[in-house]
Chain A
Amino acid sequence: MAPPLQGRGLSAAMDAAPAALLPETAAVPWRPRVDDRRLRRVGRLWTLTTVAHVVPFLLAAAVLVALEPLSLPVALGCLAHAWIIPELYAQRGANVARPRRRRAGGEGAERVALGLLGDLVDHDAREVHARTGLVPERGRLGTWLVGEAGALLVRDRRVFCWCVRVDDPDLPSGDRIAHLLLALRADEQGFATVANLAFAGSRWRVRRRLARPMRPALDG
């Protein structure tokens, strides 16, 4: 009788070949792979877009008041638009870090999931997660803050907010983060390619839109 591991079993197991690219990138073949250069470009585009949204309203407000002081209420409306539009974008970015609704009766599963997540990260990251709900992870592109349904990438004063998730509503929060963390660690650029960019802009704009307990995570 042949030993049970001859043939496909043992040889295949011994030849364990790691894959460098995140397989999920195959689902988005039209997207260029995110790298440092692309992030800089995308960041500048977001800044330009913000300026393009804000400046016309500011100019309109100034021109209206200059031409006809009685048009002040309309000018104030323009100023409100100039303020609100960037705020809405920043809110959209901050939303990627918002915790999802807990499943009733899932406390036991949550504890188990947090145990596994705790095994994957070091003491400092565990401590940050306990305080903020986000797990910090230093990468080549910057410092990531991984949440349940998204991740923030902090690069100097700019933050990129990525919407990315695992599609299983029954997973506890800790497992959701562990899914994202493992994918991020396997292929950081692939992770950013698969994720949807919700916002890129100044760190302070996102920070004040985050839930108060989460804000310190952006300070690190």
Chain B
Amino acid sequence: MSRLIRMDHTGHSTVAEWSADDPVAVEAAVVAFREELDRGYLAMVTTGPGHAEQVRELPIDSELVILRLPISGG
């Protein structure tokens, strides 16, 4: 089961869960993913130890997609 989670004031919230072989769940996850991006979140997937990648479309095969807010110089 893959998960789309958003880091927020609760620690993190699960926005969507899907299995690659469940088209309805994937579609719902894609819709939720786009809504979060429209809200200004950036989607990240881990691509190996010490590596992450921003994605602009939901990577269905990823186990975990993390939504984060933009960073800025303090």
Contact = CB atoms under 8 A, between A and B. Distances in A.
B71 A186 contact: no
Contacts of B55: 16-19
A83 to B, nearest CB: 27
Contacts of A167: 69-70, 72
Given A23-B70, A182-B52, A183-B71, A13 B42 contact: no
Given A112-B11, A171-B9, A186-B44, A13 B69 contact: no
Interface in A157-199: 162-168, 170-172, 174-175, 178-180, 182-183, 185-186, 191, 194-196
Contacts of A183: 68, 71
Nearest to B69: A166
Nearest to B51: A185
A113 interface: yes
B11 A175 contact: yes
A32 interface: no
B70 A138 contact: no
Interface in B36-74: 42, 44, 46-47, 49-60, 64, 66, 68-74
B73 A196 contact: yes
A16 B54 contact: no
B53 to A, nearest CB: 4
A168 B69 contact: yes
Interface stretch (A4-12, A44-52, A65-73): A4-12
Contacts of A112: 10-12
Contacts of A180: 71
A172 B8 CA distance: 8
Interface string A201-215: 000000000000000
A171 B7 contact: yes
A175 B8 CA distance: 7
Interface stretch (A35-43, A53-61, A74-82, A103-111): A103-111
B23 A10 contact: yes
A200 interface: no
Nearest to B28: A4
Q: Counting chain B CB atoms within 10 Å of each CB, which of A106, A149, A167, A175 scores highest?
A: A175
A111 B46 CA distance: 21
Nearest to A31: B73
A111 B10 CA distance: 9
28 contacts: A4-B23, A10-B23, A10-B26, A12-B57, A14-B60, A16-B55, A16-B59, A16-B60, A17-B57, A18-B47, A18-B54, A18-B55, A23-B70, A115-B11, A116-B5, A116-B66, A120-B46, A150-B74, A164-B74, A166-B68, A167-B72, A178-B66, A179-B7, A179-B68, A182-B66, A185-B52, A186-B44, A191-B71
